[in-house]
Every structure is written in structure tokens, then in C-alpha cells.
Amino acid sequence: MPSAADASLDPAKSFQGLILTLQEYWARQGCVMLQPYDMEVGAGTFHPATTLRSLGPKPWKAAYVQPSRRPKDGRYGENPNRLQHYYQFQVILKPSPANLQELYLDSLKAIGVDMALHDVRFVEDDWESPTLGAWGLGWECWCDGMEVSQFTYFQQVAGFECAPVSGELTYGLERLAIYVQGVDSIYDINFNGRDGAERVTYGDVFTQAEEEYSRYNFEYADTAILFQHFKDAEAECRSLLEIGASGEGRLMALPAYDQCIKASHAFNLLDARGVISVTERQSYILRVRELAKACGAAWLKTAGGGA
Amino acid sequence: MPDLLLELFSEEIPARMQRQAAEDLKRLVTNALVDRNLFYEGAQAFVTPRRLTLHVIGLPAAQPTSREERKGPRVGAPEAAIAGFLKSAGLARIEDASIEKDPKKGEFYVAMIEKPGRSTKEALADIIPTVVRAFPWPKSMHWGDYHPAERLVSLSGMEAGMDPGTISAKYTGKNTLRWVRPLRGILCTLATPHDVAEIVPFDIDGLGSGDVTWGHRFMAPAPITVRRYDDYAEALQKAKVVLDADRRQAIILNDAKSLAFAQGLELVEDEGLVEEVAGLIEWPVVLMGEFEPEFLDIPPEVIRATIRANQKCFVLKDADGKLANRFILVSNLVASDGGAAIAAGNGRVVRARLSDARHFWLTDLSPLPDYKDKAAKPLDQRLAKLEALGIIFHDKLGTQAERIERIESLTNELARKVGADVELAARAACLAKADLVTEMVGEFPELQGLMGRYYALAQGEEPSVADAIEEHYTPQGPNDRVPAAPISIAVALADKLDTLGSFWAIDEKPTGSKDPFALRRAALGVIRIVLENGLRLPLTGPLNAAIWGALLDIEFAREDQAGSVVQSLERRGFPKGPELEEVVGAFSRAARRSPAPDNARLRETTASLLIFFADRLKVYLRDKGARYDLIDAVFALPGQDDLLTIVWRVEALGRFLDTEDGKNLLMGYRRAANILRAEERKEGAGAFAGPHEPAKLVLPAEKDLADVLAAAGAAARERVGREDFEGAMRALATLRAPVDAFFLDVTVNADDSALRLNRLRLLGELRDATHAVADFSRVAG
């Protein structure tokens, strides 16, 4: 009989166990185990440990959980499969090792997926982030028909060709947990692996947040303030980059990139509020992309970027 | 006679690229072999998600020896000339050359230079890396240690202090190769039956060729060493890999059908899906999954689209032809539990997807909160949302909402002409695109129209309106069904004519193989709707209206003209606010509804679009095996814009030209036209216009022709007027005998200039009379 404490850490029984197992697995592969970036981002890719570190010649291996916000995906806590805030587990390996697929499959085994019982497939999925000026080729990874990860070989980031090429793995943690725990709704995921009165579900933790943020994202976020945030972030980003270019010892690629992330999130909120028309949408995406490109160019002039 | 076995082993190749890749590999390698005079007996290519394989049999062991004869200096030429010849021909002594005689030059030296061919193995070691490096993948990538060539150069510059050897060593083996996904292994062998089998040695960016492959990723991952195709195929079969894509497809189809049959169900076949699924697996294992019968309340097309697009699974029908709550999935694994976990897992995903679909379905049937005040019914609220969002149809052609208005006003014009209820047709046109902003069509664009029909019926629209919403997209291609109900016809025509008129208005016409807006398909759609419904529909009017509507919207879209009108009215003291914008909006709508003015740009655009229709009509008739070569002859006549009568006339003309009378009259016509053209060249076009003078007809054959011509010309014109094209042809047929007699007995270019002029005028009248039916000068052959 396994103890309750074991279940708290069991990747097939608890959400936290799933995260901890993946962390341990990738730590053993030599990854720097980072913590989430402390800003609102739409995906783990936005973390500078992926976006910026995938540029330039320096090798890099990291993994981290990234809380991700997609305001438009909010469903007031009513849809069992969609959230406006969720977790990604992100792995970035540069250069991509020759056995990356095997490493990925072994990570699935580590969280309890039995390859003799389950059908794992690599299904074409070309990845593109218009706001980051980034694209890559790879797959959706399917487990018995469920998409549990994305697997991408970065070809371009911030408008720059990636050389060497980074391999990026993104695990959708809630999807994966639904799958390994065998439940039908994200809200039914067992978070702490305990039973009875001690059991805490994903819903216990996040239902209220989903309801409140859906309200905020769709109905009450102040659009005038958000438009101003967007402009401010854009201006600050440009200004930091200009100072950086003005002389030795003034580079601020990372703070500038933070402002790019802020502009991107303000745009996502405005988009959810429905105040950006289709034509404007393109131009906002373009403005964020220009910031991302400028930040990428600035990063390549720093030590981290291999200069 | 050695055989080549080549396997390019990679990470998973996208299913949609596999078949073409196998063909490309075979084509590129065999072409390169033939270019090097290496002729083979047969070649076959195979593809799975992880490997591209080529088997070429019956190759020669080496390229044939090439012989070249080289002429040298004459016998007894100076020492230096002889030495030069020996050197260039590669001979040691002049005795090795033969001596030939020539009556002019006398005796001279000739050397036979023999170049032994390279071995096939060596040639392949060149060919394969070249083919791999230049492989035409639709999309390819770098991976791992990729270093662009430019960076090597710039780094060597930066590291100028280092010695070149160190730099080169530092970057040796760095990957510059592109492949569809990382290329992991190359098996390349040349094997002679009952004799040696050897590796063809080469290296691509550090990846060396060898004699090793691997089996199924999960069921047989161990390396397999193999040098001959027969052993290779057998080893893969044992290692749970079905090499041949067609065989994988056949297994899937067969197993799926029998699994369905065992449950009293029938597989809903889907060729495209079988092809795709066979590209996702190396070892097909067909399983059945299940979902709750409650989901069957969702329209069956939605269930099928959901299961197909998201899960790549097949749906099943019961004995009554209704969708069953089961589905077929194809896995890549012989699972230790017989597939129970896989089927259950897929079932869970299908259920989640279906509950999404049901959510979309129910949401779309419900009122839209923000637009409740703007319209009463759900689909009308979606239309209001579509307008409010200002979704762009095309950056030069304004918004979807403007496009819908154009289609509505065109429908109005067309409804009367095709016998449709004008109000219902207008209603259908107004709602036709409203489903574009529904959740369901957002998720499954291929369900556009169909969902509109469901939602229209749900809100109590007339069935004919609901049908038209679905059918206005048809026909989608040469084999798709054509709408037959008048309202559907009106909206389908309006939609297509608006598309054609709009893109013609901004000069975006199809060129060569490029037709990004599917304008050829739209024109073919119009042609099929008109002809297959037997519609009399002169196109000039609707085309003018379509182009004019688009031109107006282009004007208003350009730099927001409407906005600037509002501003200038405001400056003149008109009260600001929505009323003013409404007035200007009403103005632009009124302009669109007003009849198209007569201007040169409109005329030219319409004429160019009509020519496009004539070309498309040719293609249509050719595909139906009808006389398409006569289109030009009919279309060259003025005012030809009625597709149905054009086809009638073409058919009648075709039948006439098949008769003896028709053939002879065509010859007579050509003779007349040639003479006229030659004489007009001398004296100017129109020199022989005007009626002949009966008094100046002197020969009986002349008089005879004039008489018959008067009667036949009038009869032909009159019958064309009644659209009795067969009758008009019969009238022309009476001309054959007098025309033949005329050319036999009468000298057109008589010395008497008055007689000559009169005869040429008579021929002019003959030409005109035939032109009542067709421009015979445009008849080919």
C-alpha cells in the first residue's frame, strides 16, 4: 500500500507530482531548472530563457514551468477543456541533440506512460508566433489521440535565423494530467494527490480565478488604460534600445524585452475585449513583432547573445 | 547486374508530403543514373513516416567505356607537332597511333582514346548526396549544430589569428543540410544477386552511409543490418514495419470494414483520410472507439468533421444510414491489452471534442448578448456582429459586410430573371454569409453554408431560404452538384458574379497556374448553373452591376472616403453624430443600387470578363466532349453574352459544318473572304461595303447567287432572331450551290472596274449573310 505522501508526488495521481517528475527528469539531462518568468506571457516560449537564449551561438539547456495567460480562452470556468490561465512545462535544448525524440519519449515513461499500452505519435505541426517573428517545424505529440506536447525545431526567432537550432518541448500540463489521471475535466484534476477531505482539485484552486478573470478579460478590463499600457510599453522598449545603441556599457536588451512582453499582453487583453478590429489586429501584431525583432538584435550584441 | 538499396531514415515525415517525396526520390536518382549512362531495369520507391526507400534493379557494374577518335598531324609533320599530339592524346609513342589516308590531306595520324567508365558504386556515391542536398521538400529545416555557410566565413574572419586547420577542425561535421525533419540514418548498398553486396560509401555532413536500419519505433527499435532488398523487406516486416503505403492503406480499409461489419455497422469511407492515416503509422492496428449516444443530437456533418479533423478517425453508419456512436481509429501499436487503453483514450478525446462541438452548436443557436438589440433572431445577430467587426474581405475590396450588400443587390437583380421570389431571395442573400462568424464555422470552415442552413431552419426561415444559404457556394468544382431551386440559383449566381466582378474591378485576374481567388472555379460555376438549368441570362447587365458595385466600394474603401465626406459635412455645420454617418452610409448604398453608368472603364472591364467567360466555356465544352473550337466563331459576333444561346448556336454550327453543304459553304466563304481581304488591303477596309447594283449583274451565276443570297440572308437573320439556329443553318445551306457555281463561272477581278466593284460587293454581302450565324473566319481547321 503506497502511503498518502507517495501519492502527493506520484505523477499519475497528482498535478504537482507530474511537475516535479518532469523537473527531476530534465534536471538529470543537465538542464538549468529555472523558475517561471515573473511576467504575464501567452506561452512558455516568451520566457527570455527561450526567446532570447535561442538566439546566438552559445549552447543552452533549460527547463521551467511557465504560467501562461490567453485572455481570449477564458470560459468563466464552464468549459472542461479551456482556460485563460494554465501551465506549460517548457524544455529548451540548444543545439537540439540527435536523440531529442528519445529523450522526450523517456520523459513520458518517467511520468508513467507505458509505451507497450499507449499509442504515441508525432503528427506534423508547424509552429509560428507572428508576434515573436518566430517559426519552426515539428509535431504535436499525441498520446492515444490526445495532444499532450508540442515539439519544435526553431528555425527563426525575432526574425533571426537560429544557428545552432534549438529543440523546444512544450508540455501542456493540464492536458497531460487529464490524460495520466484519466479524468474528463481539467477542474477534476487531483492537484495534491490526496483522497477524501485532504484532496485538493485543480477546480478548488482555480475555478474562482477563471470566473473572475473571464469577467475581467471580456467585460471589465479598462480598454483606455490598456491602450495606454501598450503605448507606454512600446515607447519604453524603443527608448531602452536606443540608449543601448548609443554607447558602450549601456545595453539593456533584457529590460527592453520585458516591455515587449508587456505590450504583447496588453494587446491580448484588448483583443479579448473585442476592441481591436481585424485590420488593426494585424498592425498591432506587427508592432509587437517589430519590438521583438529589435530586442533580438540587441540581445545578439550582448554577452548572452554570444557577442 | 547489381541492385541499389537506399533508405533515408528520419524523424517523422509529415503525412501529406510522403507520396510526393517517394516519387521525387525515384525520379531524381534514376534521372541522375540515366544522365551518366547507367541504365537500369526497374525502380520502385516506398515511404513510411520514418523512411524513404528506393530500390533500383539491374544496374550495370560500371559506366560504359567511352571511345573518342582524335585526328592528329600528317605523317612527317614537325617533331613539335607530333609531341603535342602524343601529349594531348595520352600516347607514349607515335607507333600507338594508327595512320589514315585522306585524298586531300594525304596520310595522317589518328589516336583512339579510351576512357573506362566509373564504377556504378562511385557514381552513386556522387549522385545520392547531391540528390539528398537538393531534395525538393515543400518545407525543410535545419537542426542541431547547424552552421550557415556565411557564419563560417565570418567566424574565420574573426578568428583570423587561428591557423586554418584548427578552424576547419572546429567546424568539421557541422550540419548545413536541410531535410524535412532531422535525417538520422542512411542505408545505401549495391548488391549483386548471388554475389557481393557492399556499402556505397559517402558522407553528408558527418552522417555516413551504411547498412543499418531500424524497425518500428516502439515494437522493434533494435538496429537491423541488411544489404539486400529482399532481406530488407523481410526484416522490416518482422520488425513491424509495412513498407508499402498502398499496402498500409489496404490493410486499414479492409480491417476497418470488417470491424464495422462485425458490429452491424458500415464504414463511411474517406479516401483522403485513409491516405493521411497511412502516413501516420508504420504498422496499422485498427480499433473501434465509442462515444455517448447523446452526442448524436449534433448534426452528423459536425460529428464527422470533428472526428475527422481533430482525431483523424472514421465515422460509422448503422443499417438505416444514420451515424452511429462508434468510430474507427488507426493506431501504430499492437498493445499488450489488445488496444483497450488506446481505444478508451481516443474515446475520451473524441468526447471532449464533441462536447466542444455541442457547445458551439448550442451557442450558435442562442442569442448573441451584445447584439440582442440590433436584431431579433440569432443568425441576424451574427450578421450584425459581422458588420460591427468590420471583417475585411480583401484590402482593396472593403469589408465582408459591404460584400454581402453587393451580393444582396445583385440577387435582387437576378431573382426576377431566374423566376425566384424576390423577397425570399433577398433574405437568403442577406443571411448567406452570417454563419462565417458562428463558433462552429470558426472551428470548421469547411462547414460554411451547411451550418447556415441548420441555423436558418432553427430560427424558422423558409426551407427554400435555408437551402439557398447552403447551396449558394455550389458548384464547388466540375463534379459538384448544381443548385436547381430558383432562390438558390439567384444567390449562387450573385455570389459568384460579385466575386468575378470585384476581382476584375481591381485587376486581379488569374494568370497561368495562379488563381488564388478561385476565379476560374467561380466562372465555371456560373456556366454550369446557367447551362444545366437552361437559363436565358444575358450576362452584360449583371456583370456591369457587379463591377460597378465593386468600383463604388473601392472608391469608398480608398482612404476612407465616406469618413472624409462626414468630416467635410461636419465642417459645414451639420450636427455631428451617428445620424450623419448614417446619411452618408445611405448615400453610398443608394449609389450602389443606382444603375451602372455608361463609362469606358466599366465597358472595358465587362468586355474582358466576358472574354474570360468565353475561355471558360471552351474548357467546359471540351471537358464534355463537345465542339469547343467553334466558340470563337460565335463569340466574335457582337452582343454575345447569353451562354445558353451561344451553346445552341455552337451546336447548330457544329452539325452544319459536319454536312457536305456546310463544308463546301465554308470553303466558298473562305474563298470569298480571301479575295475580299486581298482587295481590301489594296483599297482599304470598307471599300466594298454597300449593296450591289442588280443592273450590273451580267452572268447567270452572278444573278443566281444574288437571288439566293437575298432570300437566304433574310431567312437566316429572321431565324436567328427567333433563335432557330438549325433553321438559320438550313437557310445558309441553300447558298452552297450558287456559291460553287459563282466561283466556277465568274471572274471577280474583272477588267471592267464597275463589274469588279459590283462582284466584290456581292461577296461582301455573302460574308455578311454568313456572319448572321457565326464568324466563319474564326472556324479553325
Partners of residue B281 in chain A, C-beta under 8 Å: 121
Check B392 against A278: CB less than 8 A apart: yes
| Separation in Å, CA of A264 to nearest CA in chain B | 21
B528 in the same domain as B514 = yes
A211 in the same domain as A226 = no
B510 in the same domain as B418 = yes
Is residue B161 situated within a structural domain? no
Name the grid cell of B285.
Answer: 492496428
A90 in the same domain as A199 = yes
Check B335 against A117: CB less than 8 A apart: yes
Domain boundary among B189, B206, B238: B238
Residue type at B569? L
* Test mutation, B349, B391, B395, B403, chain A, max A CBs within 10 A: B349
Is residue B190 situated within a structural domain? yes
CA geometry: angle B402, B406, B411, nearest 5 deg: 145
Question: For residue B160, what pLDDT is reported?
Answer: 43
Is residue A33 situated within a structural domain? yes
B444 in the same domain as B388 = yes
CA distance B684 to B703: 26
User: B690: burial class by Cβ within 10 Å (0-12, 13-18, 19+)?
Assistant: exposed
A57 in the same domain as A189 = yes
B492 in the same domain as B405 = yes
Is residue B516 situated within a structural domain? yes
* Test mutation, B17, B48, B141, chain A, max A CBs within 10 A: B141
Query: Is it the case that residue A2 has pLDDT exceeding 60?
Result: no
Cis peptide preceding A130, ω within 30 of 0:
no
B333 in the same domain as B233 = no
B109 in the same domain as B124 = no
Q: What is the pLDDT of residues B289-302, one digit of tens each?
A: 999 999 999 999 99
Q: Are B761 and B688 in contact (CB under 8 A)?
A: yes
A179 in the same domain as A92 = yes
Query: Is it the case that residue B591 has pLDDT exceeding 70?
Result: no
Query: Is it the case that residue B164 has pLDDT exceeding 90?
Result: no
CA distance A226 to A269: 8
HEC assignment per residue over B544-582: HHHHHHHHHHHHHHHHHHHHHHHHHHHHCCCCCCHHHHH
- Domain boundaries, position B260: 245-365
If one counts the domains in chain B, the total is: 5
Question: For residue B157, what pLDDT is reported?
Answer: 40
| Separation in Å, CA of B247 to nearest CA in chain A | 20
A238 in the same domain as A168 = no
Check B145 against A161: CB less than 8 A apart: no
Separation in Å, CA B543 to CA A41, B3, B536, B539, B553: 51, 63, 15, 6, 15
Is residue B578 situated within a structural domain? yes
**Average pLDDT over every residue of B593-608:** 81
Chain A residues with a Cβ under 8 Å from any Cβ in chain B:
79-81, 95-98, 101, 115-124, 126, 136-139, 143-146, 153, 155, 161-165, 167, 179, 182, 184, 277-279
B338 in the same domain as B398 = no
CATH number at residue B227: 3.30.70
Question: For residue B115, what pLDDT is reported?
Answer: 84
A186 in the same domain as A55 = yes
CA distance A84 to A76: 9
Q: What is the pLDDT of residues A293-305, one digit of tens each?
A: 999 999 999 999 9
Query: Is it the case that residue B165 has pLDDT exceeding 60?
Result: no
A240 in the same domain as A201 = no
Q: Are B749 and B756 in contact (CB under 8 A)?
A: yes
B125 in the same domain as B110 = no
If one counts the domains in chain A, the total is: 2
Partners of residue B355 in chain A, C-beta under 8 Å: 80-81
CA distance A9 to B84: 88
Is residue A304 situated within a structural domain? no
Partners of residue B437 in chain A, C-beta under 8 Å: none
CATH number at residue A266: 1.20.58.180
Is residue B569 situated within a structural domain? yes
Domain boundary among A184, A216, A248: A216
Backbone angles phi, psi at A91, to 5 degrees: -125, 130
Is residue B36 situated within a structural domain? yes
Domain boundary among B365, B393, B418: B365
B74 in the same domain as B10 = no
Is residue B167 situated within a structural domain? no
**Average pLDDT over every residue of A158-171:** 96
**Residues forming a β-bridge with B44:** B55
Separation in Å, CA B28 to CA B133, B137, B183, B416, B518: 12, 13, 18, 59, 32
Name the grid cell of B277.
Answer: 492515416
User: Which residues, numbered 203 to 242 in chain B, qualify as contacts with chain A under a Cβ-Cβ cut-off of 8 Å?
Assistant: 218
Is residue A152 situated within a structural domain? yes
**Residues forming a β-bridge with B330:** B286
A80 in the same domain as A211 = yes
CA distance B593 to A122: 55
Model ipTM? 0.95
Range of weakest confidence among A247-256, B272-281, B596-605: B596-605
**Residues forming a β-bridge with B48:** B51
Which residue in this structure is represented by grid cell 436547381?
B484
Is residue A285 situated within a structural domain? yes
Q: Are A177 and A158 in contact (CB under 8 A)?
A: no
Question: For residue B92, what pLDDT is reported?
Answer: 84
Backbone angles phi, psi at B130, to 5 degrees: -65, -45
A69 in the same domain as A29 = yes
CA distance B14 to B108: 65
B416 in the same domain as B544 = yes
Check B341 against A118: CB less than 8 A apart: yes
CATH number at residue A171: 3.30.930.10
Domain boundary among A148, A181, A216: A216
Q: What is the pLDDT of residues B59-115, one digit of tens each?
A: 999 999 888 888 888 888 888 888 888 888 888 888 888 888 888 778 888 888 888
Question: For residue A304, what pLDDT is reported?
Answer: 92
CA B127 to chain centre: 33
CATH number at residue B755: 1.10.730.10
Name the grid cell of B235.
Answer: 526484416
Smallest Cβ distance to B349: which of A121, A137, A145? Answer: A145
B561 in the same domain as B415 = yes
Q: Is B139 an 8 Å CB contact of chain A?
A: yes
B534 in the same domain as B403 = yes
Is residue B150 situated within a structural domain? no
Collapsed DSSP state (helix, strand, coil) of residue A78? coil
Q: Tell me the pLDDT of chain B averaged across its residues.
A: 89
A17 in the same domain as A153 = yes
| Separation in Å, CA of B341 to nearest CA in chain A | 7
A32 in the same domain as A116 = yes
10 Å Cβ neighbour count for B19?
Answer: 16
Smallest Cβ distance to A80: which of B181, B336, B352? Answer: B352
pLDDT band at residue B152 under the 50/70/90 scheme: very low
- Domain boundaries, position A264: 222-299
Domain boundary among A199, A216, A233: A216
Which residue in this structure is represented by grid cell 454550327?
B653
Partners of residue B181 in chain A, C-beta under 8 Å: 137-138, 153
Interface A:B, Cβ pairs < 8 A = 120
A142 in the same domain as A69 = yes
Domain boundary among B576, B602, B623: B623
Which residue in this structure is represented by grid cell 470533428?
B306
